[in-house]
């Protein structure tokens, strides 16, 4: 592996034997190095494929501005997240998260607290990511000697959730859409959710992917509609509720649900319906 560009004393862009560019992180890994120098792989504490084009100058600026301790604690958090969540570590996640942690610690030292208005939604809809984020928060507070509030765990969870979509705006909009749809179902069926039930967890999982598909304008649309024969008649209450969700989506997100999406929703909603 050879150095392609020095980002900072602790980060470089390097090329592997197959000429693939990677971002390599390690204490002092870039110190005294020049373009073309070989890297000792034993000095590399973390590395990931450089995918975003035109990011080199931005990465250099970030690694110079972000305190070293924030870079290395971000490494540990991403390792933890990779072991628990189905995410791919990219340079965009590493630097977005390390930049956020650096800024959060700086705010804390200045006595500035920022409330996370999506905290409740994140806890409900991104439970796995939030669980990892709580561990990350404890790690940050212990190693950086601060007392960041739970709100920060919510922000970290959003970054982790965003790693699967690579679109933070969609991730945040998704949480709002899920909340709205759950309210439509709750008031239409006049039910109280059992948040520990399998059926509740199933619809949360479905709505996560459903909302992201809508926001990214990715449709589920099968040619054979006969597979849904009888569902409308067998589940009339759930079907009418699904149509109300379609109205909501059309009005608020300018997107028309396909027959497939309406039927999938109907089946999930019907499971929540009281006997």
Give the distance between the most distant pair of CA atoms in the chain: 73
**List of long-range contacts for 219-223, beta carbons under 8 Å, 24+ apart:** 219/258, 219/261, 220/258, 220/260, 220/261, 220/264, 221/258, 221/259, 221/260, 222/260
The confidence score (pLDDT) of residue 58 equals: 57
Strands 2-8 and 11-15 come out as antiparallel
The confidence score (pLDDT) of residue 242 equals: 94
Q: What is the DSSP letter of 240?
A: H
Which domains are assigned to the chain? 1-53 (2.30.24.10), 66-166 (1.10.1790.10), 170-272 (1.10.1790.10)
The confidence score (pLDDT) of residue 137 equals: 97
- The distance from CA 212 to its chain's CA centroid, rounded to whole angstroms, is 11
The confidence score (pLDDT) of residue 261 equals: 86
The confidence score (pLDDT) of residue 163 equals: 76
What distance in Å separates the CA atoms of residue 157 and residue 166, rounded to the nearest whole number? 13
Low-confidence residues of the chain, pLDDT below 70?
18, 46, 48-64, 89-91, 164-169, 218-228, 275
Residues 199-217 pLDDT 10s: 887 788 788 878 877 877 7
Phi-psi region of 47 (alpha: psi -120 to 50; beta: other; left: phi over 0): beta
Burial (CB < 10 A; 0-12, 13-18, 19+), residue 13, is: buried
The confidence score (pLDDT) of residue 220 equals: 60
């Amino acid at each position: 592996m050879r150095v392609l560009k020095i980002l900072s004393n602790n980060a470089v862009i390097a090329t592997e034997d197959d000429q693939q560019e990677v971002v390599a992180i390690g204490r002092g890994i870039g110190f005294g190095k020049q373009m073309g120098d070989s890297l000792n792989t034993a000095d590399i504490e973390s590395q990931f494929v450089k995918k975003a084009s035109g990011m080199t100058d931005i990465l250099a600026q970030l690694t110079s501005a972000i305190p070293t301790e924030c870079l290395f604690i971000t490494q540990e958090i991403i390792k933890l997240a990779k072991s628990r969540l189905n995410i791919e570590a990219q340079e965009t996640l590493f630097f977005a998260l390390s930049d956020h942690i650096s800024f959060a610690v700086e705010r804390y030292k200045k006595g500035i607290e920022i409330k996370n208005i999506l905290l409740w939604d994140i806890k409900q809809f991104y439970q796995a990511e939030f669980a990892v984020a709580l561990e990350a928060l404890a790690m940050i507070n212990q190693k950086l000697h601060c007392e960041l509030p739970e709100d920060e765990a919510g922000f970290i969870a959003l970054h982790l959730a965003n790693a699967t979509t690579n679109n933070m705006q969609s991730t945040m909009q998704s949480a709002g859409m899920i909340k709205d749809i759950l309210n439509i179902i709750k008031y239409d069926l006049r039910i109280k959710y059992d948040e520990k039930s399998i059926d509740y967890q199933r619809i949360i999982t479905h709505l996560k992917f459903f909302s992201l598909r809508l926001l990214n304008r990715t449709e589920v649309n099968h040619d054979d509609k006969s597979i849904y024969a009888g569902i409308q008649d067998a589940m009339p209450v759930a079907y009418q509720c699904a149509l109300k969700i379609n109205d909501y989506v059309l009005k608020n997100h300018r997107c028309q649900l396909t027959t497939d999406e309406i039927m999938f929703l109907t089946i999930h909603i019907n499971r929540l319906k009281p006997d």
